[in-house]
């Protein structure tokens, strides 16, 4: 198994603002922990410097007028119609280098896709990617450019069948919208229900239209869902869908805002459930483009994506965080000194009702969605 890790020190140079929950520094933390664990010096692993995407790449999905507005925003200029494009105070601030950041993230995702599609590697991981909320002409949910959509469209141009699996706490609404009417892409999103969390979409009856009917799959999870419910829902839905669809390549978004300590969501996953699902994704395809995603507890991001990268390389790593790393970065939330979570948490109230709801959703998908999926 050959793997590639996409990274640039420039990722951490961009800043959404001191009060914004998305800290680009989390990417440096993840890189440093992965490196400290010896996971970038393995025999079949490549560390690849991220390169920025060109405007023509962005136009695979985004409207030209929107790109023009982002170019102004890149210089710190707020145009009169910026608000119409989702820009302004709040989730999607205007800051110098905004488009440079987005190009670099997208370029790294495209590099990952090319490496996998060419056969140079089997798995490529861009931890900066997975910005799945951006729409064709609107920023949304901290996302200005939708790199998963651009990656998938680039693969479609090469005649590939693509399955997209998203385990972020938030629904992959931008990706769903882009492929809602096609059967060339199977999109699967496991997320906290839209009744309680942004973007308020992603219900099980959102299954696609026209040729795409059945090819958009959503598993909305009740708030406070834990590892057991997460793994059950994944196992019940995802492998059967992938088996029927038979993709050439899987593109996944591995957001970790689903962990119990994350400040922006209400799910109670841990590294245990996360790793079980990551292992299953690895088993489902011999060609895998992995993208990062959400995660607003920066220590969770570093720990989880280190574990994910170890799985991608079929490596077991000690649970103790290397001492040199811990001495430098402990103030950023590495409280226990462990890479894995403490699994001795209290029982969750209302678990039976949550299980009934998840079983209902799984049953709906088995009855109304799975029969519509066909292979190549």
> What pLDDT, on the 0 to 100 scale, is given for residue 231?
98
CATH of the domain at 97: 3.40.800.20
Residues 209-228, mean pLDDT to the nearest whole number:
97
Span 125-164, pLDDT tens digits: 999 999 999 999 999 999 999 999 999 999 999 999 999 9
The residues facing 162 across adjacent strands are 185, 249
Q: In this structure, are residues 131 and 103 in contact, taking their beta carbons and an 8 Å threshold?
A: no
Look at residue 343 in the predicted model and tell me its pLDDT: 81
* Average pLDDT value over all residues in the chain: 97
Give the E-state strand segments of 44-179 in sequence order: 45-49, 123-126, 162-166
Contacts of 50 (CB under 8 A, 6+ apart): 6, 7, 8, 10, 11, 104, 105, 107, 108, 111, 126, 128
Tens-digit pLDDT profile for residues 76-101: 888 899 999 999 999 999 999 999 99
Could you give the residue numbers annotated as active site? 171
In the beta sheet, which residues pair with residue 39? none
The dihedral built from the CA positions of residue 274, 104, 182 and 118, taken in this order, carries a sign that is negative
Provide the residue range defining the domain that includes 204: 3-341+350-372
Q: If you average pLDDT over residues 232-260, what whole number do you get?
A: 98
d(CA 114, CA 154): 9
pLDDT at residue 241, as a whole number: 98
User: At residue 345, does pLDDT exceed 70?
Assistant: no
Give the CA count within 13 Å in the CB-facing half-sphere of 130.
28
**Looking at the 3D structure of the chain, how many domains does it have?**
1
- Joined together, the tokens standing for residue 174 give 């931008």
% of the chain with per-residue pLDDT over 90: 96
The predicted model scores a pTM of 0.98
Q: Give the integer Cα–Cα distance in Å for 290 and 107.
A: 14
Least confident of 17-26, 71-80, 115-124, 206-215: 71-80
């Amino acid at each position: 198994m050959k793997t590639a890790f996409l990274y640039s020190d420039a990722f951490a140079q961009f800043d959404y603002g001191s009060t914004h929950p998305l800290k680009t520094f989390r990417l440096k933390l993840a890189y440093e922990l992965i490196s400290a664990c010896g996971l970038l010096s393995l025999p079949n692993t490549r560390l690849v410097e991220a390169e920025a995407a060109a405007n023509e790449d962005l136009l695979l999905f985004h409207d030209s007028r929107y790109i023009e507005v982002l170019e102004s925003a890149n210089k710190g200029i707020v145009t009169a119609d910026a608000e119409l494009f989702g820009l302004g105070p709040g989730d999607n601030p205007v800051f110098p280098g905004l488009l440079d950041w987005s190009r670099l993230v997208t370029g790294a995702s495209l590099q990952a896709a090319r490496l996998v599609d060419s056969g140079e590697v089997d798995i490529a991981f861009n931890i900066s990617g997975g910005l799945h909320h951006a729409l064709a002409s609107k920023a949304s949910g901290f996302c200005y450019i939708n790199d998963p959509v651009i990656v998938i469209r680039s693969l479609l141009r090469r005649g590939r069948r693509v399955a997209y699996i998203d385990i972020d706490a938030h629904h992959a609404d931008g990706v769903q919208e882009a492929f809602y009417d096609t059967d060339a892409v199977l999109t699967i999103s496991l997320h906290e229900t839209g009744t309680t969390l942004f973007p308020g979409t992603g219900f099980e009856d959102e299954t696609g239209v026209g040729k795409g009917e059945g090819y958009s799959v959503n598993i909305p999870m009740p708030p406070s869902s834990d590892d057991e419910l997460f793994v059950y829902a994944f196992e019940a839905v995802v492998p059967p869908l992938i088996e029927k669809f038979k993709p050439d390549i899987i593109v996944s978004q591995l957001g970790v805002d689903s962990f119990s300590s994350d400040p922006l969501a209400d799910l109670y996953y841990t590294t245990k459930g996360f790793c079980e699902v990551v292992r299953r994704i690895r088993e489902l395809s011999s060609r895998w483009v992995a993208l990062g995603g959400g995660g607003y507890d920066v220590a969770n991001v570093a720990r989880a994506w280190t574990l994910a990268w170890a799985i991608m390389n079929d490596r077991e790593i000690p649970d103790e965080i290397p001492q040199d790393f811990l001495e430098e970065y402990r103030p950023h939330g590495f409280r226990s000194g462990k890479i894995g979570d403490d699994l001795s948490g209290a029982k969750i109230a209302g678990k039976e009702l949550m299980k009934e709801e998840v079983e209902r959703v799984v049953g709906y998908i088995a009855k109304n969605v799975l029969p519509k999926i066909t292979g190549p």
